[in-house]
Each structure stands twice: as structure tokens, then as C-alpha cells.
Amino acid sequence: MPNAPQTDEGWYVLHDFRSIDWDAWRDAPERERQLAVDEGVTYLEDHEAVADADEGASAVFSVLGHKADLLVVHFRPTLDALSTAERRFEQTALAAVTEQPTSYVSVTEVSGYVSDDWFEGNKDDIDTGLRRYIEGKLKPDIPDDEYVSFYPMSKRRGEQDNWYDLSFEERAELMSGHGEVGKEYAGKIKQVIASSVGFDDHEWGVTLFSDDPAHIKDIVYEMRFDEASSRYGEFGDFYVGRRFPPSDLGAYLDG
């Protein structure tokens, strides 16, 4: 049996997608609309300030197209905190004009493909740069005012191309080549990789941030030619949007 890579986990993640019920929004009296905006802004600001937990991060994004209108991303130290955040939203007047068409549950992860040192040595001896790099992956910041792309993915278990049949060394080499493409986009793209094995329908959730949506297209397209993706990647639905400050919620809803 091929070896699974070692992994360390950081924050749990909920991608909570919401659709505006525009009929309800249009029909609501001004007072209800204002309440929806007020409670929505308070909810989002409290969660961005992580008022509900010791640490974590949250952000709200607009989403294009029919699949959703809003994406609220929560990073928290426990699944329980995510469950609370999801249910608290339902207690707001904003929830009355939204539905939850989809969502994704995962946990940030670093693996032995990324760094042998992290797993093999004494973690106190680890180089500061590497430590910060790893901690940035386990407890990521969410950049302001940037475009976002989210998609779930799995590794193929085809009858010929079967990722889980490859040796650790083969997989590590493929992941390393994959990482090389990522490095070309340093400064242009920030990515968060989180495992959903045992939690949700694909194996990972990928969240990309950039100040230019064309960079998002370019990195995903270029990586598609990389063997780790071309032969072994299987992708779910893609969502694209842009972060906005909670205080802009009213303007967003007013078109």
C-alpha cells in the first residue's frame, strides 16, 4: 500500500453560499429591508472581527451568476464554531431574504509533499521563514478587496490514471512540479488549500485570491497542463466573485 503523506491541520473552513431571494427583497417594506441590512452588516462585521472565537477570519464576497449571490467564508479553530456561525446567520433578518444553495466544509492542511522538514524534525528547530509559510497556510489571512475563485477538487482514481496507486515519491514529484507553476504567480495569486476528506463531497476545496480575475484564469489554465492536474485532477463547480466590506451590503442589495 502506497504511503499517505503526513498532514497537519489548521483552521476549519466553511464556505457558506447564499442566494438573495430578490422577490422577497423587492416586496419587503423599507423598514424590513433596513433591518435586513443592519443585522446583516452587524453579523458580518462581528464575524470579520472574530468576535465569536479566540482566533480565525471571515469575509463576505459578491458572487456572479445564478449559483449564488453571496459567499461568506469562515475560518475557525473548531467545527463547532463553524456550526454556530452558520446558525447565527439564520437568526438575522438578512436570512429572511436569502437561501443557502450550496456550501463547503473543509480544514486547512499542510502535507509532507510541501515540506519534509516540518514533519521530520523538532518543530522548535524549524527555520522562521518556513514556520511563517506553514502558519500562513494553516491560519490564512483573507486579502481585502480582491477577486475570489472557489472550486472543490479530487484526485482521480481512474482505471489507468489512479493517483492513489502512485508511490509517495511519484506523487511528491508531481506535487513539486505543480508547486513550480504556483511560484510563477507569487504576488499575483494567494491560494488556500483545505482538505474535505470525510467532510464533504470532493477531497479538497481550493480558494484563490487576486486583484485581477485574469490572473485567476491564467493560473488555473496553466496548471491544467501540469500532469498533477491534466491526468489526476477532477474538478467540481467553479464560483467567482469579489470581496466587499460589510458596510457595502446595502449598496450591493440596492443594485
Annotated catalytic residue, options 12, 43, 147, 151: 151
**9 to 28, contacts with a second copy by CB under 8 A?**
9, 12, 14, 16-17, 20, 22-23, 25-26
Interface with a second copy includes 54 (CB under 8 A)?
Answer: no
Quote the least distance from Cβ 127 to a second copy, whole Å.
25
Q: Which of 49, 169, 177, 179 binds a second copy (CB under 8 A)?
A: 177
Q: Which of residues 56-75 bind a second copy (CB under 8 A)?
A: 62, 64-67
CB of 36 to a second copy, least distance (A): 12
Count of residues engaged in binding a second copy, rule: CB under 8 A: 85
As measured in angstroms, the least distance from the Cβ of 198 to a second copy is 4
C-alpha cell at 136: 500562513
Question: What letter represents residue 150's amino acid?
Answer: F
d(CA 103, CA 99): 11
Distance separating alpha carbons of residues 192 and 211, to the nearest angstrom: 16
d(CA 2, CA 32): 58
Reported in sequence order, the residue ranges of 3-155 that DSSP labels E, i.e. its strands, are 7-20, 57-63, 70-76, 98-99, 103-111, 147-155
| One residue of 32, 46, 50, 84 binding a second copy per CB under 8 A | 84
Q: Supply 96's cell numbers.
A: 429572511
Beta-strand ranges (E) seen in 64-162 are 70-76, 98-99, 103-111, 147-155
Q: x/- contact string, 196-225, with a second copy (CB under 8 A)?
A: xxxxxx------x----xx-xxxxxxx-xx
Annotation marks residue 151 as catalytic: yes
Residue 73, classed as helix, strand or coil, is strand
Site string for a second copy, 220-239 (x = CB under 8 A): xxx-xxxx-xxx-x---xx-
Provide, rounded to whole angstroms, the least separation between the CB of residue 205 and a second copy: 11
Q: Which of residues 137-176 bind a second copy (CB under 8 A)?
A: 147, 149, 151, 157-162, 164-165
Give the 3-state secondary structure of residue 40. Answer: helix
H helix or E strand, kind and range, residue 235? strand 233-235
In single-letter form, the type of residue at position 210 comes to S
| Shortest distance in whole angstroms from residue 74 CB to a second copy | 11
The residues annotated with a catalytic role in the active site are 151
